[in-house]
Amino acid sequence: MNVRFLTLASLLTASTFAADAPKLPPIPAEPTAKKKELLFSDDFQRAELGKDKGWAIVVPTFSVENGALKGTQMRFDAPAKDGKPPVKGHQAVIGNDIPTQDSVIEFRFRLGGAQSVTAEFDDRKFNGSHYGHLCMARIAADKIILVDQKGLAEARPEGATGEPPTPKGRKNVSFPLSLDPDAWHSFTLETVGDTMRASIDGQPVAFLQSPGIAHPTKSKVEFGCMGKDGFFDDLKIWSAEAVR
C-alpha cells in the first residue's frame, strides 16, 4: 500500500469541500486498491428496475427514473396505533448478492431531496452483527461517514441474547463536505484489508482503518437513501487487491 499521506485540507478545494478537521486520520494521497475483475455494472438505461440484474428491494422503495436509480424512503417512525405495533423508521435500501472481499465500487450520485445516500457491505450468514452488517459509507451534503458496523447491533444466532462483543479497536470517522445536493457527483469506495478510502469527484475525502472492515466474506452489497428522491447511476463493482 502506498504510504504517502495527505491531510484532507491539502486535498480539497475550499469551493467544493469544507475545511479539514485537525483530529481526523490522514487520507492516503494515492489509491489503496488496484482493480481486478469487473463483477457487476448497471447504467439503469431502462424503463423499470426489473429482475435481470439481480436487484432486490430490502426496504421500500426504489425505481428507475430517467435512466437513473431513484431511492425514496417510505418507512418512518410511527407510534403504536389501533392495535398495530410501532414502526421504526429506516432508509430505503436495495441490495444485490455480489460476493467480495476486497473491492472498488464506483457510481455517480445526486442527493436531490435526500438527507444521505449509502453504500454498505453485509454478510447475511454472519451472526455477529444485526442482519450481518459489516461496514458502510454514508454521504450527506455536509459530511461523509465511514462506519465499522461489525458487532455493533444485536446479533441473531439461534438462542442468543444481548449484544455481541464489539471488536477491539473498532472506529468510525466523519469527514466534512460541502456538496451541491442538486448536482451529480462521482464516488469511489476502495475496500482492502481493514481499510476503506472514499473519493468524490476524483478527490480523496475520507479514510478509515478498523478491524470489522477486514471481514473476509462480504456477500451482499446494499445501497440506501435516507429521505426523498436520492439518485444513483453508472454503478460498477470490481474485485481488487491492495496497492503495494
Q: What is the pLDDT of residue 65?
A: 97
The type of residue at 182 is D
Q: What is the pLDDT of residue 176?
A: 97
Asked if pLDDT for residue 19 goes beyond 50, the answer is no
Listed residue (114, 137, 21, 138) closest to 61, CA to CA: 114
Listed residue (126, 121, 127) closest to 156, CA to CA: 127
- With b for 16 or more beta-carbon neighbours within 10 A and e for fewer, the 161-185 pattern comes to eeebeebeebeebbbbbebeeeeeb
**Confidence tier at 166 by pLDDT (50, 70, 90):** low
Q: Distance between CA atoms of 58 and 94, rounded to whole angstroms? A: 5
* Stretch 103-120: mean pLDDT: 98
**Confidence tier at 160 by pLDDT (50, 70, 90):** low
Q: Of 25-34, 70-79, 203-212, which range is least confident?
A: 70-79
* Stretch 118-144: mean pLDDT: 91
**Confidence tier at 4 by pLDDT (50, 70, 90):** very low
Asked if pLDDT for residue 135 goes beyond 90, the answer is yes
Q: Distance between CA atoms of 225 and 237, rounded to whole angstroms? A: 19
* Stretch 162-191: mean pLDDT: 86
Q: Which residue has the higher pLDDT, 77 or 72?
A: 72
**Confidence tier at 15 by pLDDT (50, 70, 90):** very low
Asked if pLDDT for residue 233 goes beyond 90, the answer is yes
Q: What is the pLDDT of residue 5?
A: 39
Q: What is the pLDDT of residue 201?
A: 98
Q: Distance between CA atoms of 106 and 238, rounded to whole angstroms? A: 9
